[in-house]
């Protein structure tokens, strides 16, 4: 019975490894295969590791500790490095590491935070956090229910990554390596060797790029009131659409800044000079049939007479050769900005219209499958987030939870 579960502090039911953390300055990091974790997840990959096993990382600082727009706790498995912005713990004989993950996610940690400007969860306060601690066998059942949902969510995410990789590999084969060209009959061009039936063209001949406007102030809302507003956070690092980044706007806006599903958006700014975001594209998904976009984005649409297709253009913008040309038009001392020329000057090899359409037929199906998977992810995530506090508090019995999950399958 839940009434028999004791309250225990995190200090009683976990092992802390904060003393083994070690930050590496960005300028001193050497690229490698091992994840480098910070307060909100992986921030880089490095050549060495500090930990090897199954651990729980908990954010030590950052505004997300208050807003919780992304999880404040997450698992790190295998070999990895951690900086000093995330606490690192494991369960002990009283609690499993994965149970601690769900317990932290279900707990209001606001009383344990310090810092008026920048929230901070000190190690001392972390250890004071208390929650109900059921017997290990009950923890295992709770983890089984919630973990099954998380595993399904992760499988769908991996599937989407594979779908993206398939489309990217096909584009590279057909339009970069020219594997589909019979006997590879080539000609010289200013871009090097290209198929004889192809020509060199520029983005300006095929697209119209319109920069958004700074919509902010009282019209901006996080509560879903108003029209969807796509912004810099709507583009994933290294390209693709980021659903979690959407905002909403409830005041007046200019008609020319309207955007519809299927439009391409391109990030036109970022802090620093790493080029991890600037110039990368995303396609607005079907779940946002209309909306607006901010000044941190360009809306890119094909001209009526262009033989290109939307998905072909998206994958073209993702290729390293075109990206180099795009980001060469970015400048700025503190904030990097992409000039309009970045979506005009860059050149590429123009394929036959029929081949472009053939690729599009495949790429669109893959993208729509990925969008369907995102809808499934959102449904499963909402179910998990509903069950989580009820299971951790003992208000929902395990058999009932299993039945709910079964019915949702």
The per-residue pLDDT for 154 is 94
The per-residue pLDDT for 275 is 61
The per-residue pLDDT for 383 is 95
Q: Are 2-132 and 199-350 in the same CATH fold? A: yes
* Residue ranges of E strands in 39-137: 41-46, 51-59, 73-82, 86-91, 130-132
How many CB atoms within 10 Å of residue 58? 25
Q: Is 134-182+354-409 a CATH 1.10.287 domain?
A: yes
Domain layout of the chain by residue ranges:
2-132, 134-182+354-409, 199-350
Pairing of β 73-82 and β 34-38:
parallel
The per-residue pLDDT for 70 is 86
Question: Residue 62: CA atoms inside 13 Å, Cβ hemisphere, count?
Answer: 20
CATH superfamily of domain region 2-132: DNA methylase specificity domains (3.90.220.20)
The per-residue pLDDT for 92 is 96
The per-residue pLDDT for 185 is 86
Mapped onto helix, strand or coil, the DSSP state of residue 96 is: coil
At residue 24, φ and ψ (nearest 5 deg) are -125, 125
**Which tokens sit at 227?**
């029209």
**Which tokens sit at 341?**
């020329």
At residue 244, φ and ψ (nearest 5 deg) are -65, -15
Nearest Cα neighbor of 315 from 345, 343, 261, 356 is 356
Mean pLDDT by 10 residues, the chain (409 residues): 85 97 92 94 94 97 90 95 96 96 95 92 96 94 95 96 97 93 84 93 97 84 84 91 90 91 93 72 96 95 96 97 92 80 96 95 98 95 94 92 87
Would you state the CATH architecture of domain 199-350? Answer: Alpha-Beta Complex (3.90)
The per-residue pLDDT for 272 is 53
Sorted by sequence, the CB contacts under 8 Å of residue 272 that are 6+ apart come out as: 336
The per-residue pLDDT for 335 is 74
Relative orientation angle of helices 97-105 and 136-175, to the nearest 10 degrees: 90
The per-residue pLDDT for 31 is 93
Radius of gyration of the chain (CA): 24
Q: How far apart are CA 99 and CA 115, in angstroms?
A: 28
């Amino acid at each position: 019975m839940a009434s028999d579960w004791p309250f225990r502090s995190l200090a009683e039911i976990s092992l802390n490894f904060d003393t083994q953390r070690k930050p590496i300055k960005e300028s001193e990091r050497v690229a490698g295969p091992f994840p480098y974790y910070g307060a909100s997840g992986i921030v880089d990959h490095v050549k060495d590791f500090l930990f090897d096993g199954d651990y729980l990382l908990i954010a030590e600082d950052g505004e997300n500790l208050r807003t919780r727009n992304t999880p404040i706790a997450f698992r790190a498995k295998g070999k990895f490095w951690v900086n000093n912005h995330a606490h690192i713990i494991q369960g002990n004989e009283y609690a499993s590491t994965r149970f601690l993950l769900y317990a932290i996610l279900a707990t209001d940690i606001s009383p344990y935070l310090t810092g008026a400007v920048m929230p901070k969860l000190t190690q001392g306060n972390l250890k004071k956090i208390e929650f109900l601690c059921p017997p290990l066998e009950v923890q295992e059942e709770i983890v089984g229910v919630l973990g099954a949902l998380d595993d399904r969510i992760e499988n769908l995410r991996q599937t989407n990554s594979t779908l993206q990789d398939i489309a990217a590999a096909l584009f590279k084969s057909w339009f970069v390596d020219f594997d589909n060209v019979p006997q590879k009959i080539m000609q010289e061009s200013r871009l090097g060797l290209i198929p004889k039936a192809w020509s060199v063209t520029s983005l300006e001949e095929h697209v119209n790029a319109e920069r958004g406007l700074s919509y902010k102030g009282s019209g901006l809302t996080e509560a879903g009131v108003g029209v969807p507003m796509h912004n810099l956070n709507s583009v994933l690092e290294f390209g693709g659409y980021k659903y979690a980044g959407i905002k909403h706007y409830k005041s007046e806006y200019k008609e020319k800044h309207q955007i519809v599903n299927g439009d391409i958006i391109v990030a036109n700014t970022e802090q620093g000079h790493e080029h991890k975001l600037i110039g990368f594209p995303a396609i607005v998904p079907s779940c946002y049939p209309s909306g607006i976009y901010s000044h941190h984005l360009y809306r890119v649409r094909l001209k009526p007479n262009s033989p290109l297709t939307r998905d072909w253009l998206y994958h073209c913008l993702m290729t390293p050769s075109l990206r180099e040309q795009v980001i060469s038009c970015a400048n700025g001392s503190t904030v990097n900005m992409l000039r309009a020329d970045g979506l005009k000057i860059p050149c590429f090899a123009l394929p036959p219209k029929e081949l472009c359409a053939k690729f599009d037929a495949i790429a669109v199906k893959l993208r729509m499958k990925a969008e369907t998977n995102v809808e499934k992810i959102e449904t499963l995530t909402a179910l998990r987030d509903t069950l989580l506090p009820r299971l951790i508090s003992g208000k929902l019995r395990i058999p009932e939870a299993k039945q709910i999950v079964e019915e949702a399958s």
